[in-house]
Amino acid sequence: MGKKIVVVGGGPGGYVAALRAASLGADVTLIEKENLGGTCLNWGCIPSKIMKNTAEILHKCRKAKDFGIHLDGAVLPDMAGLMARKEKILDSQRTGIAGLLQGRNVHVEKGCGRITGRGTATVTAADGTTTSLSWDKLIIATGTTPMNVPDFAFDGKKILSSNDILVLSHIPETLTIVGGGVIGCEFACIFAALGTKVTVVEAMSRLLPLPSVDTSTSRLLLREMKKQKITVFCDTVVTACDTSAKGCSISLSKSPFTDNLQAKDPKKDTLYSDLMAVCIGRTPLSSDLGLETIGLETEGPGWIPVNDRMETGVENVYAIGDILGPSRVMLAHVASHEGLVAAGNAMGQEETMSYNAVPGAIFTMPEIGTVGVSEGQALKSGMAIDTASVNFRVLGKAHAIDEIAGEAKMVVEKDTGRVLGVHLIGAHATDLIAEATLAVAKGLTAQDLAHTIHAHPTMAEIMGEVASKAVGMPVHG
């Protein structure tokens, strides 16, 4: 009989780890308390992209005349129809994952998993029945939940989490989003396209205040969001939200967290909107796992520390995905790769996790794709670099599809010309970043990319354009 491996959590890290371990000959049990696919499939990546697709179609329909199309009558969003489509797709994806697990003889236990000691665990089902399990190796992949703020806690009616937004039965006339990070900016663009008057409140000096997102990308996104009639308050925090009346009365003040030394008080101290969505971070789901029974200590609010083999401080126990916290990279595709590494090592292989070339995909309008270091990160680290930037409007395809807003920026090592980072904002940027990811991962130079033939007319030409400019032979940029 193979090693008994128990995986707690059926998200993109957990189910991939289970599949990999089973392929290597393990006897695998996967515990999932809700639906297979985790946050990404059920409450994040996929449902929000389904909504974004509808929003983009609606936006295109409103511009039909510009494309030589005449539409009779009003073009209106149908929230009930959108939600029905979303659920159909999610159900199909869950069924697909279940089929993969079944095909590799992974046993799935539905319920809340809890570690009860070295080598043992229990699963408590919704009806209260308990199943005992034994394990030789344990992989923890329980993920996170939206962070709640006591001063304006989620009520699911007027103060919403990112989960609540995905099950709205109507399109609000006005919506305030607290947090100008990835989730907040994505929802801002979606609801603005659906017809909502959106306001974003961000504590830092720019939208997407992440080290991996170049400041020029943030500036361009702000410009495009303003074109979409989205109001943005940076250097600002929400201090309270009164829901006693019809909507939300939201109190604002200057942010104590901003990196802007010249930050001023907000132009208004109160906002009024139908709903307020709070998208400011995630909280680890580790408190009820029974980690104390095996002596596994956590950090901060409950993050689990690991090494690059995904091993925790307890022998035979691994952890992957968002439960590792912001010291790693909290992305679904990273969790999946961590799952492969953890499963391989649990089965006796020698694998390590590298975060040197992790692509970031942000589904704003326009989209953003990033990989490697930003200019700011490079300069802060003392790297000798050159940068080159090209606007998407140089591409014939961008004009053909009426998506000319955007920029490609490349960060290269001055002495070698090696590509250290690429930052794209524009149509299909989340797909286009794949070539740049390979370049960073394999240590390719801007010269290598500049001399790679890119099909014309395509959006992919932007990589050739920016690489050509980086090596001093610009074509159109």
Interval 64-103: pLDDT, tens: 999 999 999 889 999 999 999 999 999 999 999 999 999 9
Q: For 109-137, what is the mean pLDDT?
A: 97
**4-146+283-346 is classed CATH 1.10.10.10:** no
The CB density around residue 68, as the number of other CB atoms within 10 Å, is: 6
pLDDT in tens, 157-171: 999 999 999 999 999
Helix, strand or coil for residue 277? strand
- Cβ distance 366 to 408 under 8 Å? no
From the list 170, 399, 451, 456, the catalytic residue is 456
Q: For 244-253, what is the mean pLDDT?
A: 95
Q: Residue 446's pLDDT is what?
A: 98
Q: In this structure, is the dihedral angle defined by the CA atoms of residues 189, 269, 278 and 205, taken in order, positive or negative? A: positive
**For the domain 360-470, what is the CATH superfamily, name and number?**
FAD/NAD-linked reductase, C-terminal dimerisation domain (3.30.390.30)
Q: Residue 463's pLDDT is what?
A: 98
Same fold, 4-146+283-346 and 150-280: yes
Q: For 378-392, what is the mean pLDDT?
A: 97
pLDDT in tens, 4-59: 999 999 999 999 999 999 999 999 999 999 999 999 999 999 999 999 999 999 99
Q: Residue 27's pLDDT is what?
A: 97
**Tokens representing residue 364 in the block:** 């704003």
pLDDT in tens, 411-462: 999 999 999 999 999 999 999 999 999 999 999 999 999 999 999 999 999 9
* Cα–Cα distance measured from residue 35 to residue 11, given in angstroms and rounded to the nearest whole number: 9
Percent of the chain with pLDDT over 90: 98
Q: For 253-279, what is the mean pLDDT?
A: 94
Q: What angle in degrees, to the nearest 10, is found between the helix axes of 14-23 and 79-103? A: 20
Q: Residue 477's pLDDT is what?
A: 78
Q: Residue 1's pLDDT is what?
A: 57
pLDDT band for 110, please (50, 70, 90 cuts).
very high
* CA nearest to 167, candidates 35, 43, 276, 280: 43
For domain 150-280, give its CATH number from 3.50.50.60, 3.30.70.1230, 2.60.120.10, 1.10.287.1080: 3.50.50.60
The structure's pTM equals: 0.95
Q: For 358-372, what is the mean pLDDT?
A: 98
Kindly list the domain boundaries of the chain, sorted by start residue: 4-146+283-346, 150-280, 360-470
Tell me whether residue 333 is one of the annotated catalytic residues: no
The CB density around residue 270, as the number of other CB atoms within 10 Å, is: 11
Half-sphere exposure of 229 (CA within 13 A, CB side): 10
pLDDT, averaged across the chain: 96
Q: Residue 32's pLDDT is what?
A: 97
- Cβ distance 198 to 177 under 8 Å? yes
